[in-house]
Amino acid sequence: MATYAAPVRDLRFVLHEMLDVSNAFSELEGLEAVSDDLLDAILEEAGKLCENVLFPLYQKGDEAGCTLAHAQVTSPPGFADAYKALTEGGWTALSCAPEYGGQGLPETVKFAVEEMICSANMALSLYPGLTHGAYRALTGYASAAIKDFYLPKMVSGEWSGTMCLTESHCGTDLGLMRTRAEPQDDGSFLISGTKIFITGGEQDFTDNIIHLVLAKIPGGPPGIRGVSLFLVPKFLPDADGDPGARNPVFCGALEKKMGIKGASTCVMNFEGARGWLVGEQNKGMRAMFSMMNHERLWVGMQGLSLGVTAYQSAAEYAKERVQGRSPSGPVNAQGSADPIIVHPDVRRMLMTTRAYMEGGRALYLWVASQLDRAAHHPDPQVRAAGDKRVALLTPVVKAFLSDVGTESAIACQQVFGGHGYIREWGMEQIVRDARITQIYEGTNGVQAMDLVGRKLPMEGGAVMRDYLDELRAAADSHAGTAAMVEFIAPFRSALARLEEAFDWLMERAATDPSAPGASATEFLRLMGLTGLAHMWVAAAATALEKMEGDNTGFYAAKLTTARFFMQRLLPQGMALLASIRAGSESLMALEAEAF
């Protein structure tokens, strides 16, 4: 069976020992009081909720799914109570502003808690997750009146939020959208059109649902430049802020889908629904991106979180299931066979997953810590540097972590052999649930295009060069430590490959318009692997410092996993570099008719 135990020890290792976050917070305005003790208490309590309340509903939610009758969705049994436990416990408002009822804690802490929530029950996590995205867009772009009116109830979880972009004929290319917003004399708009794939578009947990909708105002500029953002409540609040008249926005159908069945994915019909502009007219994408960037980091972390559940389940199974004998002689001589964890190929699957999951956890938390720097550092230059680092790494975290999370889920399903394919064991659900993280919030191919087409060229490549300098400085900082040579040498080689690929790509893009797209996915993977190597160097250095001769415990396992990553996973970069340098010619050569 799938099992889940909150990885509090490893989260503490990353937060306290590797990143020393409370020390970093002491320099950030408004976060000075966030201590190690507070962090530990939060992690412990959130971990218990995830293990005892959310995870027991994970498989049940998949089996029951959501149902629709008369435009009303019924969620799986237990989900409404679990949502209540999440919101009433304040778990969904950790990083929200105190002025709207939030706790004003760092994003780093929020992300750590969300990893556990997603691992325990990804479908349920989507409802508050989307609300948080809507909260971010409104905080950044809505008028003071809208913020004061709507945000307190969204922060408390009394009202939820959605993000309505996709239409049947457009997902990536939103400039094609047809949903219209007709201006009214009172300053509001009437929204008409159909959105598809809307997560949480309808549910039975909250008194109201606040849709953030992209639509075009007639007569505006064509394409993406004519898209504006609107707030469209399910119920129009009355003067006291209570849900009043029903706004004509209805769930027309539930999508029948591969996974995350406990989350409603809705076709939403806007039938002249009343809405209000958020931000400037025709600048909707700017506001939506402020939400999407945050959501993209979150989705990368989601992919990882499912890999974590899969790993824990597979590790347990591999210690219990007996098949065959160890190649170096029986370890269970009294029994009929040895546990499958003795087999090198089973080890390969477990170690690969472990190295990606623990390294990936450090990577997303490190990027989240840059979010906090960008928002709270007193020095504007440091804030700007944090912003750029987040912008550069957002597509990497989204696509790389969701890719390795999904690959890991599949590898761990494989550890179960045929039982991994059978529902009751729970592994096929994890694979089905993980798969969406590679697709939504912008497909991973589109993330790769964002990286090579928009992020690498930022400031003429200076943002990427700054990142490379930081990685080089990290390698240099361990130059005098003999025990670190085995980690630093492969890290330096990886860095050299990433730099070579970057230079090659920037140069080639000037003469071959297909070059960036042709190598984008490989480049993103190369950058993800190198970013992970950076984290594994830091993890190894920390473990060496802390292990104090203990060659069997937590730190020794960290060191072994770091070694495995450097020796067995990082060399993928050589093949990736060769693919990148092969360019676009053979990729683009066939005529479309030949496919």
Binding-site ranges for ligand FAD (CB under 6 A): 163-166, 171-172, 197-199, 257, 265, 436, 439-443, 445-446, 449
225 or 319: CB nearest ligand FAD: 225
Taking the least distance from each CB to ligand FAD, the nearer of 161 and 339 is 161
- The one catalytic residue in 167, 295, 441, 522 is 441
Nearest distance in Å: CB 579, ligand FAD: 17
Cα 305 to its chain centre, rounded Å, is 9
Q: Which is nearer to ligand FAD, 172 or 332 (CB)?
A: 172
Structure tokens at 392: 């550069």
* Cα 242–chain centre separation: 33
What single letter denotes the amino acid at residue 248?
Answer: P
Whole-number Å distance between alpha carbons of 591 and 578: 25
Min dist. Cβ of residue 69 to ligand FAD (A) = 21
Nearest to 196 by CA among 270, 287, 92: 270
Least distance in angstroms from the C-beta of 77 to ligand FAD: 21
For tokens 């912003």, the residue is 387
Q: Do 450 and 499 touch, CB atoms closer than 8 A?
A: no
Measured from the Cβ of residue 344, the count of other Cβ atoms closer than 10 Å reads 10
Residue 202 or 441 having the CB closest to ligand FAD: 441
Amino acid symbol at 522: E
Contact criterion met (CB below 8 Å) for 370 and 358:
no
DSSP, collapsed to helix, strand or coil, labels residue 274 as: strand
| Rounded Cα gap, residues 156 and 103, in angstroms | 11
| Terminal Cα-to-Cα distance of the chain (whole angstroms) | 42
**Of 574 and 588, CB closest to ligand FAD:** 588
Report residue 399 as tokens.
């696509």
> Any idea of the CA torsion for 38, 41, 45, 51, to the nearest 10 degrees?
120
Question: Cα–Cα distance between 352 and 347 in angstroms, integer?
Answer: 8
Nearer to ligand FAD, 412 or 449 (CB): 449
Q: Which residues contact 486 (CB under 8 A, 6 or more apart)?
A: 563, 566
Closer to ligand FAD at the Cβ: 166 or 406?
166
Look up residue 56 and give its two tokens: 């027991």
State the DSSP code for 175: G
Q: How far is the CB of 434 from ligand FAD (least distance, A)?
A: 12
Q: What is the DSSP letter of 451?
A: I
Quote the least distance from Cβ 258 to ligand FAD, whole Å: 8
What type of residue sits at position 441?
E
Strands (E), 172-254: 180-183, 189-199, 208-216, 227-233, 235-237, 243-246, 249-254
Among 251, 96, 246, 61, which Cα is nearest to 164's?
Answer: 251
User: Considering beta carbons, is residue 490 or 517 the nearer one to ligand FAD?
Assistant: 517
Shortest distance, position 175 Cβ to ligand FAD, whole Å: 11
Considering the complex, state which of residue 440 and residue 564 has its C-beta at the smaller distance from ligand FAD.
440
Work out how close the CB of 464 gets to ligand FAD at its nearest, in angstroms, rounded to a whole number. 20
Residue with tokens 């992020």: 455
What are the angstrom distances between the C-alpha of 502 and each of 394, 396, 398, 475, 554? Answer: 17, 14, 20, 19, 36
Q: In the structure encoding, which two tokens stand for residue 223, read together? A: 């394409």
Report the nearest approach of ligand FAD to the CB of residue 164 (Å). 6
The answer to whether residue 522 is catalytic is no
Q: What does residue 265 show for φ and ψ, rounded to 5 degrees?
A: -120, 110
The count of C-alpha atoms lying within 13 angstroms of the C-alpha of 229, restricted to the half-sphere facing its C-beta, is 26
Query: In the bound complex, what is the minimum distance in angstroms from residue 432's beta carbon to ligand FAD?
Result: 11
State in angstroms the smallest separation of the CB of 168 from ligand FAD: 8
Fill in the amino acid letter for 524.
L
Q: Residues near 231 by Cβ (< 8 Å), separated by ≥ 6?
A: 138, 142, 146, 150, 210, 211, 212, 213, 275, 276, 278
Yes or no: say if 212 and 163 are a contact pair by the CB < 8 Å rule. Answer: yes
Round to whole Å and give the CA distance between 565 and 535: 11
Residue nearest ligand FAD, Cβ-based: 171
Smallest distance, ligand FAD to C-beta of residue 375, A = 25
Of the pair 258, 485, the CB lying nearest ligand FAD is at 258
Which residues have a catalytic role annotated?
441
